[in-house]
Amino acid sequence: MFTTPDLTRIDSTALFAVGSRYTDGDGNVYIYLSGGTSIVEGSVVTYYITSKAASVTALLAEAATGQVAIALAATVANKFGWFQVAGINLHVKATADGAAAAGATPHWQVAGIIDDAVVADSQVFRATFCVCEGAVDYSVNITDGTDATLLAAFAATGEIYAAKGSAIAVGDIFRVGDTDDMTDNALEGAKGSAPAANDLFRVTNITDSDAAVEFIAAGVWPDGFAGLAFNYPFVTDMDSASLT
């Protein structure tokens, strides 16, 4: 009987047949593979399966060909683990400036790392950047109880307003730097648990008592990572014009 896997576990011996797939409750799809040299969490890799016991898995290279996946852990050579092949992953290795725009097409930049700067013959097909590190509008350090509500934090005297330096707008994405919250615990309410450093929130309403934010990502947004939406991505040593 197939059991629910620990998707970040690194195995010294294979616990599943290589190529086994698992779909979580959100529709994200994962594949069990052999590891490869220098793979870390968030690495973009190419792979092909050679048997039920092994795959060839490597950091994405320039002008590579093959199927693409995202590493969920540091699954290095002679280890086994789960990689994501479809869905949304908010912890994908991107160039250090993280300036990729949401909706942009990813391209290889250096080994295992992508961004939206075009590199010939190195586009990752069937993938787009979604919420990206570079799309964070501002960071804020909330002080417990300084603002009673989100509406107060959005006002000209509030901490979120001060962090942005101008009026708050619907669609703003901000990163919090600690675990503090408004008096009414608005961030905890949006997340479902206490906020943590690097959590991301998007402003969804700025109107009176209906002021609100939605939680985007949990403490996984240091520089050098981006969000990616993908559906069995692949690379080929041709540009997109050659495939149309």
Which is more confidently placed, 240 or 36? Answer: 36
- pLDDT averaged over every residue in the chain: 88
Q: What pLDDT does residue 122 have?
A: 94
For residue 39, give Cα distances in angstroms to 21, 107, 201.
20, 18, 29
Q: What are 37-73's pLDDT values in tens digits? A: 999 989 999 999 999 999 999 999 999 999 999 999 9
Domain count, the chain: 2
Assigned domain for 114 exists: yes
**How many helices (H) and strands (E) would you count in the chain?**
3, 14
In this prediction, residues 99-123 reach a mean pLDDT of 88
Residues 59, 175, single domain; the answer is no
Q: What is the pLDDT of residue 244?
A: 45
Q: Each residue of 133-192: pLDDT tens digit?
A: 545 778 899 999 899 999 999 999 999 999 999 999 998 888 898 899 999 999 999 998
The domain of 172 spans 137-217
pTM: 0.69
Q: Note whether 35 and 115 are same-domain residues.
A: yes
